[in-house]
Amino acid sequence: WPARCQTIHVSPTFTIRVDGAHTEQSLKVGVDWFQSTAQRSSRRALIFYCSHEKNPVKLLNILQSCWFDDVLFCRPNSERPSPLAKKTAQELLHECGYDSNVALPSSSSSSSWEETLRCIWDFVRGKTDPPQFLCSSMDVSQALAYLKEQQQQQEGNGTVEVFAIGSLYLAGSVLDAVHWTEEDAPGELAS
């Protein structure tokens, strides 16, 4: 299936692993797949998005089992409208049993949803060394261009493994950004 544990080799040293997983169970499967297929010596980047109708705390906790050098929270090219109001990072953390008095100054009701995701990620990951690059202001195409640029600036260029997960809308945006078509897929679709 496209966007389900799908590997896209953009170049011999730049690989995107995309999974439209958007539930706790499917995210665990996606993480296991990524851990078993991604090169350990590569620079690793996470591109994540989930709808504000979900509480992302548990999903982001699952992703903590992977190390990422770069974490980018990107809005997909399209999404369905929702009548539900967007919650703040504090409200979402409180729903999952975290202290409701957590200081998250950059997350407010006026923050973008991607900024709220970044605040939650920052909170659940705690202190790490070395620090990760975090971004919540790029679309998927910009994020992939940024990661390619970072790779080119790296001495010896190295390899990059990108893991895009959390939403079928995000997965579709990744496939669109790399101009993937069904003709690119090996095998045939059953009629």
Residue 145 belongs to what H/E stretch? helix 140-153
170 in Cβ contact with 49 (< 8 Å): yes
Lowest-pLDDT range of 30-39, 72-81, 169-178: 72-81
Tell whether the model's pLDDT for residue 143 goes beyond 80: yes
49 in Cβ contact with 77 (< 8 Å): no
121 in Cβ contact with 73 (< 8 Å): yes
Q: Is the model more confident about 29 or about 130? A: 29
C-alpha pair distances (Å), 152 with each of 102, 149, 158 = 39, 5, 8
Please state the pTM of the whole predicted model.
0.90
Q: What angle do CA 144, 148, 150 make, to 5 degrees?
A: 115
Please give the share of the chain, as a percent, with pLDDT higher than 70: 86
Sign of CA dihedral 39, 44, 47, 53: positive
Tokens standing for residue 35: 């851990």
Lowest-pLDDT range of 21-25, 26-30, 150-154: 150-154
The reported pLDDT for the residue numbered 105 is 47
Tell whether the model's pLDDT for residue 51 goes beyond 90: yes
Q: pLDDT, tens digit, for every residue of 68-119?
A: 989 999 999 888 888 889 999 989 999 999 875 666 645 555 678 999 999 8
